[in-house]
Structure 1
Amino acid sequence: MLHLLLLALLCGGVSAGSHSLRYFYTGVTPESGVPEFMTAGFVDEEQITYYSSVVGRDKPRQQWMAESQGPDYWEQQTQILQGHEQTFKSNIQIAMKRTNQTGGIHTFQRMYGCEILDDGTTTGFDQFGWDGSDFISFKKDEMVWVTPVPWGQITKAKWDRDMAWNQGNKGYLEQICIEWLKKYVKAGESNLKPNPPEVSFTASKDGRRLSCVATGFYPQSIDVTILRDGRTLEETHSQGILPNHENTYQQTRTVMVEPTDQAKLSCRVEHRGLLEPLVLFLDSKSNSTPIWIIAVIVVLVILVSVIIAVGVAYKKKAGCFSAGNKGYNPTKTSDKGESSSNSSATA
């Protein structure tokens, strides 16, 4: 469940032409069957770090990450995350009290980080969640906290007063986070290089099912749409973005149509590895017999008809002679052929 939740957060809100650094913290009530505290760091869509209360240390998840950072880095990050672990345990108890919870499994989460867009502009975000719903988020430009739940007003008032923390949080999101993101992108440049998708757009034999397949792409952020006369078809179906064995991804989008539909059908794909959107049109002749094959068949039919007619005429003529020449024997013949990290506070 936690893995799917992290994946859903990871796949949302990141533009195709940017680099991002994001951290996910998850605290869970005891005896839930999972570690009470876990963190994961991501550059774009590559996980670079992992910490859990069971292991008790921050660990690299990529070889280039391990090679680019020395022992002091991992020791410092471990100490910071051990402090966060204690804070999250306290926040779970506070949140349970304020939401009148006395038992059960509950989660307290944080997602923060920054992003560099193609035009050079940057963004930063810091938000908290409780049991899978929004709890409170930081508006760095105004240095205030926003909460959508009534019981979050206590936390908002407390954190809004902590100007030193808010100033430090703003500085981290706008400067420190961006600096580290640039370092990580440079260290993992060869691994983080975008790989464009290979795209095919085909119809089933009966012409009712259209399938647009994009495969072999990295990163996994991609937009695949099927269009009818230039307008997006909303009734399409997809099983989502699936991993390939060579650290790339694939996605198939399908739609059902009428075989007699004369509209122009196309597939449009947008991805960071493409200089511009790729558009493939469905070849209406792809499911029909090519004209040259039809022409050859017609010629062969005519030749066979002529041969049969000649043979019939020959047999009739031969029959006339056989009556007066009983010793006639036709000659026997044979014809043989051959044939693809940031700080946090208690609530």
Structure 2
Amino acid sequence: MANFTVWALFMFGVLLPTLGDKHSLYYIYTALSKPLSLPGIHEFTAMGLLDDREIDYFNSQNQTKVPMQDWMKEKMQADYWVKGTDSRRSKQQWFKVNVDILMERMRHNKSDLHVLQWRHGCEVEDTGGVKFLKGMDLYSYDGEDFLSFDSSRSQWVAPVPAAEATKKKWDDVPILNQYTKGYLEKECVDWLTRFMDFGKESLRKHSKPDVYAFAKKSVSDSSKLTLTCLATGFYPKDVMMSVRKYGTSLPANMLMSSGVRPNDDDTYQMRKSVEILENEQADYDCYVTHSSLREPVISKWDGKCNDCSEEKVQSVVIAGVVVILVTLVLFGVVVLKHRPTFCEFSTSLFCSCCS
């Protein structure tokens, strides 16, 4: 009975303001096997992310570690940036050597582009005191996991055969694994706590989500609608969203979810969608809970389809055009002019660092 009471209080938002906030500190390094003549794309980049906000940055062109938040610039001493720059330059050389080693080991052509990435850091929960949740030390090659550290066993994990040699080499140096475990569980947490304290006004702000429910024609089935729940503008990023029918949450296997994604103003958004019959008259709503709210936000769907009327207008116009064309053809006054259609394709390099 006690467990049910806690669950009920949580669902109705009573406990939300007292829930602990999760925070993370990650460093992401990305090295390309060769330079590219594309704006903003560098042969080597490194960045620090505190709660997904960029706090420092380095690239192979500028060769300097710089602050990306005003409070980082104000709080960190000059020697922090000098030492950080030296460290980034050293890692740049390490990556340059090792991306060549991996290409050779994989028997990859050096004329092709290849990407080596490293992500390491930690996550904590702040409930008045900082509690370590998990650490991550992960290498990837061409977007696929290559080598990761298992803190519980203090060993490296090789998901692909090509990583076995590196795993064996690193596991044969116990002090290296001890340092890695210590960094993830202690040193990283210390830095995270310090940064949280420096940027607490910015990091601990809470922004309430705006919640919308709307429907459009399904792209896969003309007899159905895609009903979407959108929550946007919230911070921090932990959020719970349900798509409900007559007040009952639909199961996850019926829904399509975007996951939590960043907006361009340091807030987040999330979408969940479900396919429903076009003529369905059921009551649907979006139910959202968040640490910024004292009670859940419920946004009801108004039963309308946003683009259905437009589709009907287009159908009438098309039908009218067809009638006119047929009439003109019968009288032999139609001249068809064939013009080629040109499609422009643009490609962009996206270096995904998140695992």
Partner of residue 56 from structure 1, selected from 57, 60, 63: 63
Aligned partner (choices 162, 176, 182) of residue 151 of structure 1 = 162
* Mapped pair 1:80 → 2:87: yes
Which of 269, 282, 287 is matched with 2:300 structurally?
282
Structure with bigger gyration radius: 1
1:184 aligns with 2:195: yes
TM-score, with normalisation over the residues of structure 1?
0.69
| CA distance in 2: counterparts of 1:148 and 1:237, whole angstroms | 28
2:182 corresponding residue in structure 1: 171
1:324-343 alignment, distance < 5 Å: none
Secondary structure in structure 1 of the residue aligned to 2:48: strand
CA RMSD in angstroms, aligned pairs only: 2.9
- Whether 1:231 and 2:235 are equivalent positions in the alignment is no
After superposition, the C-alpha distances for 1:151-203 in whole angstroms (9 at most, x for unaligned) are 11100000001112111111111111001101111111111123221224456
SS at 2:285 equivalent = strand
TM-superposed CA distance for 1:256, in Å, is 4.7
What whole-Å deviation, never above 9, does each CA across 1:39-93 have from its counterpart, x for those lacking one? 1110002110111111111111111111110101001111111111111111101
Q: How far apart in 1 are the matches of 2:152 and 2:259?
A: 38
Of 16, 19, 22, the match for 1:18: 22
Q: For residues 84 and 226 of structure 1, do their structure 2 counterparts lie closer, same or farther at Cα, with a shift above 3 Å needed?
A: same
Amino acid across the alignment from 1:190: E
Identity %: 34
- Describe the SS at the equivalent of 1:57: coil
The AA in structure 1 aligned to 2:106 is T
Cα distance between partner residues in 2 of 1:203 and 1:127: 40
The aligned counterpart of 1:248 is 267
Equivalent-residue separation in structure 1 for 2:122 and 2:259 (angstroms): 29
CA shift in 2, pair 1:235/1:26, >3 Å? same
After superposition, the Cα gap between the structure-2 partners of 1:150 and 1:210, relative to the gap in structure 1 and judged at 3 Å, is: closer
SS at match of 2:86: helix
226, 248, 266: which one aligns with 2:285: 266
Match of 1:195 in 2: 207
The counterpart of 2:236, out of the listed 198, 209, 219, is 219
Partner residue, 1:66? 73
Segments of structure 1 that go 5 or more residues without pairing to the other structure are: 1-15, 288-347
User: Per-residue deviation at 1:236?
Assistant: 4.5
Secondary structure of the 2:159 match is coil
Query: Do the aligned partners of 1:266 and 1:279 also contact (CA within 8 Å) in 2?
Result: no
**Cross-structure match for 1:96:** 103
For 2:87, the aligned partner's letter is I
Give 4+ residue runs of structure 1 displaced > 6 Å after superposition: none
Is the 8 Å Cα contact of residues 143 and 167 (structure 1) preserved in structure 2? Answer: yes
SS of equivalent to 1:55: coil
Q: Name the structure 1 match of 2:348.
A: none
Q: Map of 1:117-128 to 2, 5 A cutoff? A: 117-118=125-126, 120-128=131-139
CA deviation map 1:5-42 (0-9, x unaligned): xxxxxxxxxxx941000010011112333322111110
Do 2:237 and 2:268's aligned partners in 1 also have CA atoms closer than 8 Å? yes
Contact 2:28 2:48 (C-alpha < 8 Å) held by counterparts: yes
Distance in 1, Cα, partners of 2:91 & 2:109:
23
Does the 8 Å CA contact 1:226/1:236 hold for their aligned counterparts?
Answer: no
SS of structure 1 residue aligned to 2:28: strand
Instruction: Indicate conservation of the 8 Å contact 1:45/1:219, yes or no.
Output: no
What is the alpha-carbon distance in structure 2 between the residues aligned to residue 154 and residue 272 of structure 1?
A: 46
Residue 159 of structure 1 aligns with an amino acid whose one-letter code is: W
On the 8 A contact 2:212/2:299 being kept in 1, the answer is no
The one-letter code of the counterpart of 1:123 is K
Shifted more, 230-239 versus 194-203: the winner is 230-239
- Is 16-25 or 60-69 further displaced after alignment? 16-25
| Offset from partner CA, 1:79-115 (integer Å, 9 cap, x none) | 1111111111111011011101132101111000001
Letter in 2 for 1:170: K
Q: 1:89 to 1:236 in 2, by over 3 A?
A: closer
Is the 1:134–1:148 Cα contact (8 Å) retained in structure 2? yes
How far does the alpha carbon of each residue in 1:207-233 deviate from its partner, in whole angstroms, 9 at most, with x for none?
966443323212345443412332236
Gaps of 5+ in 2: 1-19, 217-223, 305-355
Q: Residues 308-329 of structure 1, C-alpha deviation per residue, up to 9 Å, x if partnerless?
A: xxxxxxxxxxxxxxxxxxxxxx
Check whether the contact 2:26–2:121 (CA below 8 A) recurs between aligned residues. yes
Shift of the 275–110 alpha-carbon distance from structure 1 to 2, 3 Å rule, reads farther
Q: How many residues align?
A: 268
